[in-house]
């Protein structure tokens, strides 16, 4: 398992097949919308200049929407994850 540091979050990408209105499946590079992912692990939060630790808003298990080009890909035990800063997460799906 990976435990992210600070205000980071580890996300399992939810692949979305995407078709144009005429039914053509778009290759990966043609998709530009934000992506969905499932939160696998969260960091312990960022430390402000005041010395306080601010806990993350998202929790393990949340489905989140994040900017497509954010984060760093990480591979662990043959699976691909994305390490994001919480600031790159736009919203939680409820």
Binding-site ranges for a second copy (CB under 8 A): 1-6, 8, 10, 33-34, 41, 44, 47-52, 54, 57-58, 65, 67, 72-76, 83, 86-87, 89-94
Cβ-based neighbours of 88, under 8 Å, separated by 6 or more: 66, 67, 70, 71
Distance CA 33, CA 31 (A): 6
Closest approach, Cβ 44 to a second copy, in A, equals: 7
Question: Among residues 81, 87, 82, 83, which one has the least CA distance to residue 56?
Answer: 87
In the complex with a second copy, the residue whose CB is nearer, 24 or 47, is 47
Closest approach, Cβ 25 to a second copy, in A, equals: 17
**36 CB-contact burial (10 Å; exposed 0-12 / middle 13-18 / buried 19+):** middle
Closest approach, Cβ 89 to a second copy, in A, equals: 5
In the complex with a second copy, the residue whose CB is nearer, 38 or 67, is 67
């Amino acid at each position: 398992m990976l435990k992210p540091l600070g205000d980071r979050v580890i996300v399992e990408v939810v692949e979305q097949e995407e078709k144009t209105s005429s039914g053509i499946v778009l290759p990966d590079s043609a998709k530009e919308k934000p992506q969905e992912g499932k939160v696998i692990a969260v960091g312990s939060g960022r430390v402000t200049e005041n010395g306080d630790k601010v806990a993350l808003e998202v929790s393990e298990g949340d489905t989140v929407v994040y900017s497509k080009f954010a984060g760093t890909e990480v591979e662990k035990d043959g699976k691909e994850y994305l390490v994001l800063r919480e600031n790159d997460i736009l919203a939680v799906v409820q």
